[in-house]
Amino acid sequence: MAANRSKKFQTSEFPGFDPEVCMPILSDEDCPEEYVVFPGFCDVHVHFREPGFSYKETIKSGSLAAARGGYTDVCTMPNLDPVPDSVENIRKQLEIIENDAVIGVHPYASITVGQKGEMLSDMENLAPLCIAFSDDGRGVQSEEMMEEAMTRARKLGKLIVAHCEVNSLLGGGYIHKGVYAKEHGHRGICSESEWRQIERDVKLAKKTGCAYHVCHISCRESVEIIRKAKAQGVDVTCETAPHYLTLDENDLREDGKFKMNPPLRSADDRLALIEGIKDGTIDMIATDHAPHSMEEKSRGLEKSAFGIVGLETAFPVLYTFLVRENVLTIQKLIELLCTNPRKRFNIPFNNNDYSIWDLSKHFAVDPEKFLSMGRATPYDGMKLYGECLKTVRNSGTVYEKQVEK
């Protein structure tokens, strides 16, 4: 019976999700004993590129890709055209979401007008329409502006979600400033460009009482700063991405599909992130799904656009390299992909949102089969375990694996 296997995941482990509610929907044919049912995953950091850049990805293609990855809710970043810095602009995105999204899509509003860091957005009027505030893709360089943003966000009951990057420390870099960069003549991005702004922001969060969330941390120092801030009672959470947990600079190739921001860092940094996952310093895993056109990703490490796709490979990557290798339990992984992001971002469980997986299935990653319009992934050709067979949202099937003839 399907229920026998699914009972591994009880309500006590995933508050708000009761697998017994799902079971009447599932026949033995849908979910035989060797398959597993998970509550719908939640990704708080994706780029669906619409409006403004629909040649890279659309709300429809991005949400279909998410559904294939077992996600039933995602939060979309604001680096769009127009930037959602006003009610008029965010409503353009909300209209597309209403018409085209197959899962729950929750848009961010920008912290600053045009994400330029010069003037705060219309935060008070945007608050009811957005999941949180972020200038993702850019760090807010002004300490005074970030403090004011945090003060206003606290009053509005909204998270400030920060891409932490000190522009003056970037030095024109595009991969990690480490061994690979030195040996291959590339300009590097130092880790300090990330952790220095986190260090600033946790002090501001403590001062203002703002709920603060750090995007895609990638280095050892960031983990240490956040761990210390949590111990001091600062209301801070953070995420990392699958690629920072499973790859490092030793895996780099002279190919744009290995270029993302922040970059893949050292093996020591990767191990520090894993320790941060284990001890609860890192609260969740988000993909930073960032599709670009094939042309934009075909210019090598130096000239390709920053960003890779990840929604369709996230669970198989993490299951293969962390769970199967006994680094994490499957319960801990679902906590990172589902429970914690929903709790922090106030995105409720729905008992009718779930996905069915064959964890014994192994396959080679083929980007040409992605539902995302993006194709750039460092896992191209890699053999992974775990295949999503079906994803259901609000009792309706939003993805189902097609039987190959």
DSSP H or E stretch at residue 384: strand 383-393
**Distances from the Cα of 49 to the Cαs of 61, 78, 128, 291, in angstroms?**
10, 9, 22, 8
Which amino acid makes up residue 198?
A: I
Clarify whether 288 is annotated catalytic: yes
Backbone angles phi, psi at 95, to 5 degrees: -65, -40
Query: Would you list the DSSP string of 138-177?
Result: S----HHHHHHHHHHHHHHT--EEE----GGG-TT--EES
The DSSP bridge partners found for residue 236 are: 212
Distance CA(105)–CA(252), nearest Å, equals: 32
Radius of gyration of the chain (CA): 20
Catalytic residue (one of 201, 283, 288, 353): 288
Sheet with 383-393: strands ordered across: 36-39, 354-364, 383-393, 396-400
* Catalytic residue IDs: 288
